[in-house]
Amino acid sequence: MSELKQERAGGIEARIRAIAEEVLQGSESYVVDVVVRGNKGSRVVEVFVDSDEGLNVEELARVSREMGFLLDTEDVVDGRYSLNVSSPGADRPISLPRQFPKHVGRKFRVRYRTEEGQTAVEEGELESATADGIALRVSPSKQITLGFDDVIEARVLLPW
């Protein structure tokens, strides 16, 4: 993708994120990610929203309606587009420190930077999540503690 296209896509995503944050202001929900795909006239705008308490369909529908209105009013996306507002889902990595606490007790695969600057991968149960990082129980006798700056990717492992 050319630099100009990347800049424009980044600008659109930043504007959409700002609108989403405005719509979510005062609620328990927050923006996890914004993805804009496609070309002018056939774009797909995906807004991933999460909550500390969990989301319901009514909240997602409200956010979608309000965002659609504001995106159209402010003419943020050129041409036709499709807006999808959803929770991140199990297939997306956990990307914000705020998302971890509600997953304590679940099994994770975490890719992280070691003290030596290498990349390592561990699987284990998320034992705790604090403002500074996470603790992962990888075996009965081994627990690792990682700062959020060291976590490259963290995914919930599904039980099936």
7 and 75 belong to one structural domain: yes
7 and 80 belong to one structural domain: yes
114 and 82 belong to one structural domain: no
Contact, 50 vs 32, CB < 8 A?
yes
For residue 15, the domain's CATH number is: 3.30.300.70
16 and 74 belong to one structural domain: yes
Task: Tell me if 68 is assigned to some domain.
Answer: yes
67 and 135 belong to one structural domain: no
More confident residue, 105 or 89: 105
Q: What is the pTM of this model?
A: 0.79
In this structure, the dihedral spanned by the alpha carbons of residues 66, 68, 70 and 74, taken in order and rounded to 10 degrees, is: 180
How many residues in the chain? 160
| Sequence-ordered strand ranges (E) for the chain | 29-37, 43-51, 81-86, 107-113, 119-129, 133-139, 142-147, 151-156
For residue range 125-142, what is the model confidence (pLDDT) as tens digits? 999 999 999 999 999 999
For residue 130, the domain's CATH number is: 2.30.30.520
Last residue within a domain, chosen from 61, 86, 111: 86
7 and 81 belong to one structural domain: yes
Supply the pLDDT for residue 10.
61
Parent domain of 59: 3-86
For residue range 9-58, what is the model confidence (pLDDT) as tens digits? 468 999 999 999 999 998 889 999 999 999 888 899 999 999 987 788 99
Q: How many domains does the chain contain in total?
A: 2
10 and 60 belong to one structural domain: yes
SS3 17: helix
121 and 148 belong to one structural domain: yes
Last residue within a domain, chosen from 58, 86, 114: 86
144 and 119 belong to one structural domain: yes
Tokens 């159209």: give the residue: 72
Average pLDDT over residues 130-158: 94
Count other Cβ atoms within 10 Å, centred on residue 73: 9
102 and 143 belong to one structural domain: yes
Task: Tell me if 92 is assigned to some domain.
Answer: no
